[in-house]
Each structure stands twice: as structure tokens, then as C-alpha cells.
Amino acid sequence: MKSNKNKSAAMLKFDNEQVSVHSVVTKYQGFFKMNEYSLQHKLFSGEQSQVFTREIFERGDAVVVMPYDVKRDKLLLIEQFRPGAIRGEDSPWLLEFIAGMFDENETPIEVAIREAKEETDLTLSSENLVPIMEYLSSPGGMSERIHLYLAHFDCDQVSDGAIYGLPEENEDILLHLVSRNRAMELLSQGKITNAATIIGLQWLALNYQAFSVQDASTK
């Protein structure tokens, strides 16, 4: 799968060379970090902006893994509690794909393999993983970059309804094996509200036939 990163960059007028960061001050440091940036950048008019400040939530980068059994046309979803969702009226237990943050010096592939094992007991390798895209979650106020992968797997590797997760991280994860059509129904019904899962499913809706053709050609 070819990346569109270079094509996108060719359409943009400016790059990092047109930004000057004058200072970075840490305003909060806990599990996550909040930095205040003082910066300026070139304007489309050709002039320079005034120096201004922005508070940026530095939560680190993350990897999302979408397990897909091509032969059976099934997906593995996980259900878990998300404290960031308690403000809404819907349930704070969300349907998602496997996801996790980077440990020190890890590559995206290493994160994908580790998180799949921790959250679902699914054993993956680099050969199972197909890079889909990288994207910024909310760049107006957060620096997080998501690395999204499709993972080829066999449904027999996992048990529908099994419970996993690391107790030391207060994880309580329920596995759901669903057909691709059922996942798309849940998406269209607004039952899936996690951004990375929505993006992954929409990508699969556009590309699943290519994987079906590849699978048929190997038989």
C-alpha cells in the first residue's frame, strides 16, 4: 500500500522551515504533559505573524491495530471503559480496535505486536501487519500522531467474549468477533464513536475488496 504523504506535502505552501518556536514551557507534568509554545510563522500574504502562544497537550504518539480475518470477512473489536467519554449521555464503554501508546524506543510495529498480545492475547508479527496511514488526532491543540495498521489474523486465534487487559493498568477488555457487515452497521448506527475505529472502518469499506482479491489469488 503506497503512502500519500509525499503527494499531500506537494500541495502544501509551507513546511516546518516557516515556523519559529521561541520558547516551550511545561505548564503541567503528570502521566500526560501540557506545554505552552511561544511561536510565529509565515503568513500566506508573505508577512510574518505576531509572536503568539498556544497550549499543546503532549500525550505521546499511539498505534491502532485493526484485526481482519479476510477469509471469514470478520473483525475483532474490543470493548472497554473510557473515562474521557463519561461526560456524554452514551455509555463510556466503547467499541474500539486494539490501541496503545509507545514505550521508550519502540517502533510502531513493536507497539502493535505488544498491544495485540496485552489486550487480546493475539500473537502478531511484522508479516501480519499492513500500514494504512498516519494521522494527527487533533492538531489544533494536541501533538498526538496515530499509526494505523491492518492486521491479518485467523478468528480461531481468539475467543469471542474472552476478557483480557493488564490489571496493573486497570484494563478490563471484552473481545467481540463481528462480521465486517455488522461492524459497518454499528458504525452507521452511531454505536462506534472512537475516532480511530471510525477511520479504520471507513478505510476498510473502501479497500476490503482488494484484500479479498489478493486472498483469492493465493488459493
Q: Which residues are catalytic?
A: 169
What are 53-56's contacts with CB under 8 Å, separation 24+?
Answer: 54/141, 55/27, 55/141, 56/141, 56/142, 56/143
Is-contact 192 176, C-beta < 8 A?
Answer: no
Q: Which three cell numbers stand for residue 42?
A: 509565515
The pairing of strands 145-152 and 62-69 is parallel
Q: Which three cell numbers stand for residue 144?
A: 498526538
